[in-house]
Structure 1
Amino acid sequence: MAANSTTTTPIQIDLSLLTIVEAALIVFGMLVLGRIVRKIIIRKSKETSLTWIINEDTADIVFRMFVLGGIIWALYLLGIMSYGLGPTTVGNIAFAMGFFYFSYLIAKKSRDYMIISSGKKAKPEVIVKAKIFYYVFITIAFFMTLSFAGVSTELSALLAAAGITGIVLGFSAQTVVSNFISGVFMYFDKPLQIGDAVKVEDITGVVEDIRILSTRIRAWDGTLIRIPNERLFNSNIVNFMRYPVRRVDLEVGIAYAADAERAVEIIKRVLDDIPLVLVEPEPLAYVDRLDDSAVVIAIRAWAPSEKWFDVRIRIIHDVKKALDEAGIEIPFPQRVNWFANELRVKIEEPPEEENEKGQA
Structure 2
Amino acid sequence: MSSIFSNYQDKFIYTIILLIVLFIIRTIIVITVKKIGEKSGTTEARATLIGRYVTVVFVLIAILIEAFILGAETRDITLVFSSVFAVIGVALFAIWSILSNITSGVIMFFSFPYKVGDKIKIHDKDYPLEAIIEDIRAFQIHLREDNGDLVTYPNNLILQKAVTLLQKDALDDSSIL
1:149 aligns with 2:70: yes
Q: Which residue of 2 aligns with 1:196?
A: 118
The Cα RMSD (Å) is 4.6
1:205 aligns with 2:132: yes
Q: Which residue of 2 aligns with 1:237?
A: 163
Q: Which runs of 5+ in 2 are unaligned?
A: 123-127
CA deviation profile, 1:55-108 (whole Å, cap 9, x unmatched): xxxxxxxxxxxxxxxxxxxxxxx123357xxxxx69747963784487357525
From 29, 32, 41, give the equivalent of 1:122.
Answer: 41
From 179, 184, 206, give the equivalent of 2:101.
Answer: 179
Residue 111 of structure 1 aligns with an amino acid whose one-letter code is V
1:178 deviates by 2.0
Q: Which residue of 2 aligns with 1:81?
A: 5
SS where residue 38 of structure 2 aligns?
coil
Bigger relative contact order (CA 8 A; separation at least 6): 2
CA distance in structure 1 between the aligned counterparts of 2:54 and 2:23, rounded to whole angstroms: 12
1:198 deviates by 3.2
CA distance in structure 2 between the aligned counterparts of 1:176 and 1:228, rounded to whole angstroms: 9
Identity between Structure 1 and Structure 2 (%): 17
SS where residue 98 of structure 2 aligns?
helix
SS where residue 237 of structure 1 aligns?
strand
- Indicate if the aligned counterparts of 1:197 and 1:207 stay in contact, CA closer than 8 A: no
CA deviation profile, 1:142-174 (whole Å, cap 9, x unmatched): 322222233243211122212322331232221
Higher helix share: 2
CA distance in structure 1 between the aligned counterparts of 2:144 and 2:18, rounded to whole angstroms: 40
SS where residue 119 of structure 1 aligns?
helix
CA distance in structure 2 between the aligned counterparts of 1:184 and 1:194, rounded to whole angstroms: 16
Residue 232 of structure 1 aligns with an amino acid whose one-letter code is I
CA distance in structure 2 between the aligned counterparts of 1:308 and 1:121, rounded to whole angstroms: 20
Please tell me whether Structure 1 or Structure 2 has the larger radius of gyration of its CA atoms. Answer: 1
With 217-226 and 132-141 compared, the bigger mean Cα shift is at 217-226
Residue 145 of structure 1 aligns with an amino acid whose one-letter code is E
Residue 71 of structure 2 aligns with an amino acid whose one-letter code is G
- Indicate if the aligned counterparts of 2:117 and 2:172 stay in contact, CA closer than 8 A: no
Residue 115 of structure 1 aligns with an amino acid whose one-letter code is K
Residue 204 of structure 1 aligns with an amino acid whose one-letter code is A
Q: Which residue of 1 aligns with 2:125?
A: none
CA deviation profile, 1:223-263 (whole Å, cap 9, x unmatched): 87643312333445342345x9xxxxxxxxxxxxxxxxxxx
Count, aligned residues: 167
From 166, 174, 177, give the equivalent of 2:88.
Answer: 166
TM-score (norm 2): 0.59
